[in-house]
Amino acid sequence: GGIIILNSSPKIEYCQIDSNFCHQGSGIYFKHSFAIIRNCSFSNNWFTEPINSQVLCPQWSEVKILSCRIDNNDCGAISSYGSTNTFQNNVITRNYFGGSFSHLDQVLNTKIIDNEGGIEMRGSSQIVNSIIAGNGSVNGGIGIMLYNSGTVTVNNCTISNNAGYGIYNRNSELILLNS
């Protein structure tokens, strides 16, 4: 992968993380860390198993991904597990899968568009002022999949032109406002 962050607190800005190969976190893998990633681009990263792999993989961390572009990767964009993360002002486009967010993640002012699959939310999370559109059929064409989540709030979002359902809710509490 591009970068591994273990038990540390880096700030990474204005970097291009391109053409890496790895099982998890081909762009950046985080574990037990506090990190800020700002104004970076992640592209052309790949895996042999794209559906189980991610460009950004925070695990048991607190990470802020701000104003980044995650584009044209042959894998999922993000997989968050056991973490509390903020994803703000990002563009996630033309990836195999938009992302899997969990626990107390916040997705704010982010465009998740034209991926092969949309996003999955697990745990209590928020999506605010975001666009989830034009995602393909990898996860059934669902824009947002809620699966055994806590409370997920979708506020002031545009969810359109996904290949299947706009939102699929299975065993979760959904608060849908102004969307």
pLDDT digits (tens, 9 = 90+) for 24-61: 678 999 999 999 999 999 999 887 664 556 888 888 99
Q: Which residues contact 175 (CB under 8 A, 6 or more apart)?
A: 151, 152, 153, 154, 155
The Cα 165–Cα 143 span in angstroms is: 6
Which is nearest to 36 in space by CA: 13, 14, 59, 17?
13
Structure tokens at 56: 């950004």
Instruction: Report d(CA 143, CA 98) in Å as an integer.
Output: 9
The pTM of this model reads 0.92
CA angle 170, 175, 177 (to 5 degrees): 135
Spatial distance between the Cα atoms of 81 and 69, rounded to a whole number of angstroms: 21
Reported as a single tens digit per residue, the pLDDT across 74-98 is: 888 888 888 889 999 999 999 888 8
